[in-house]
Amino acid sequence: MRQIRIVLAAHGEAETAGFLENFRVGWRTLGHAAQVMGLSSVLRLTVCTLHALRKRLTGRGGSSHNANTRDQKIALQLRLDRHNNAHFSVESAFASAPPYVEQQLETAAGYDQQVLINLIPSDSRLSCGLFCHALHDAPKHVKQRTIVLSRLWESPELIDIHCTHLATHFPPTEPETSNCLLLVLHGTLVRDKKGEKPSFHTGEDEKNFYAQALRTALVGCPEKRWDRVEIAHLNHGVGGQWSEPTVDEMLARLEKQGISHLVAYACEHLVDGSETSLLAARLDRSSIPHAHCLPCLNSDPNLIDFLASRVQCALNQPSSAGCCDPCPLASESRGFS
């Protein structure tokens, strides 16, 4: 029986409020950004130090992001165990927190094949690109037995899963009440410090496609309890101009329009973590009377079934596994598309 290893690759966050852990996660995250944005070491050091100190001094707890990803790993393992065509071993790994993806990829001995699943829906140099560039530099035998799964942003199945999730978790509505649904994406750099389009794959087009496809589906959803659907972004603001509108800009706009009922959903975060908890805090600080933040998909059975089906399809047709268009692995041999 074939031995198949599945690696769920997520961003990774600090699980405690400890200074060193938060500094290391931040330093590694900005290190990835510095590869394409030219961030100075002084800026990285300042940002990481201040962030880690703020986390430590404000008493905020650690992030649930990694734990939620590990729960997804367990759920996917149980789902794949139903198949008798191979023996599956599911692991979780992260870009910015241990265990690191690139280290996990290179420990492929004993497996006939491994499948890397990028859990950030919109492909870019700083999402799936982190993993593919690491794999590009890995030994040949590792690359030859690895299949990369991305392109979640163009999947109608994932859009349907979001719609079902939203219809299930959307709070009860009052008669004669207008409800606004706010889709929140992780923003990206759209102009560098010189005002020019970045030279690296930012994922801007993929994010826009993903957001508009979901918005269109939600507007036409027969089970909807929302009257309008808006889009906003969570940005980091380093390196130049980021996606617009931001969450704060959209909240201010909706406040001026007199919106009294708002539900926000972080559709580009497949698990809850620090950014979704901060999103909930922003809603609490707004002057919109009734504002709620919905949970992410996390280990939703429909999402787990979707990931399992993607794995099976990739194993049956590895040439169509689905690397993103600018992927550095696109010209590689067997195992990549």
Averaged pLDDT for residues 19-45: 94
Among 318, 272, 312, 315, residue whose Cα is nearest residue 294: 272
Averaged pLDDT for residues 264-287: 93
pLDDT band per the 50, 70, 90 thresholds, residue 145: confident
Cβ atoms within 10 Å of 279's Cβ, excluding its own: 21
pLDDT at 100: 95
pTM flag (> 0.95): no
pLDDT in tens, 47-93: 999 999 998 888 778 999 999 999 999 999 999 999 878 999 999 99
Residue with token string 């590689």: 332
pLDDT at 336: 36
pLDDT at 38: 81
pLDDT in tens, 318-331: 655 577 888 888 75
Q: What domains, with CATH codes, occur in the chain?
A: 19-57 (no CATH), 156-293 (3.40.50.1400)
Q: What number of residues does the chain have?
A: 337
State the Cα–Cα distance between residues 312 and 68, nearest whole angstrom. Answer: 23
* Residue 213, C-beta contacts closer than 8 angstroms, at least 6 positions apart: 154, 156, 159
